[in-house]
């Protein structure tokens, strides 16, 4: 990340070894990564398991192959952090969504917060679910 650039995020969708997603957030010169077996949560009532995996080089943010594709990409901003929780906003292709990543001791839960930034209507590639018009 350059001094004025925003940190990137990428959501990779994998077909192997079984279908899952990897959430990657640029921080400290690497992509911090979590395997999210069922994808990002679509509502605040259903948290998703997020298993920390090895960090990746920044060039992995644009990597795709026959079994891995980019489901969403953009930039992210950290709103707050404690020892056990990070609150952040993903600014993806179709709008912004606020999440909390909650450390449960070795694993984490990914939670879509109730309070969301203003967002566009239409389909979001972040969750893969259609949103209704207000």
Residue 25 has pLDDT above 80, yes or no: yes
CB atoms < 10 A from the CB of 46, how many? 10
Q: What does pTM read for this prediction?
A: 0.83
Residues, the chain: 134
Instruction: Outline where the chain has alpha helix (H).
Output: none
Report the pLDDT value the prediction gives residue 124, as an integer from 0 to 100: 41
The range of the structural domain enclosing residue 30 comes to 8-118
Is the pLDDT at 100 greater than 60, yes or no?
yes
Residue 107 placed within a domain: yes
> How many domains in the chain?
1
CB 33 within 8 A of CB 68: no
Confidence bin at 133 (pLDDT 50/70/90): very low
- Please give the pLDDT value at position 94: 86
> Is residue 114 a part of any domain in this protein?
yes
* The predicted structure's pLDDT at residue 86: 97
């Amino acid at each position: 990340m350059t001094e004025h650039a925003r940190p990137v995020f990428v959501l990779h969708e994998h077909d192997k070894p079984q279908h899952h997603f990897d959430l990657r957030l640029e921080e400290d010169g690497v992509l911090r990564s979590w395997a999210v077996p069922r994808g990002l949560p679509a509502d605040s009532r259903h948290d998703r398991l997020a298993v920390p995996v090895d960090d990746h080089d920044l060039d992995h943010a644009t990597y795709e192959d026959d079994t891995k594709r980019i489901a969403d990409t953009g930039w992210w901003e950290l709103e707050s952090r404690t020892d056990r929780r990070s609150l952040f906003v993903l600014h993806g292709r179709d709008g912004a969504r606020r999440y909390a990543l909650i450390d449960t001791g070795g694993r984490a839960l990914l939670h879509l917060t109730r309070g969301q930034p203003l967002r566009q209507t239409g389909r979001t590639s972040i969750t893969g679910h259609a949103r209704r018009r207000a």
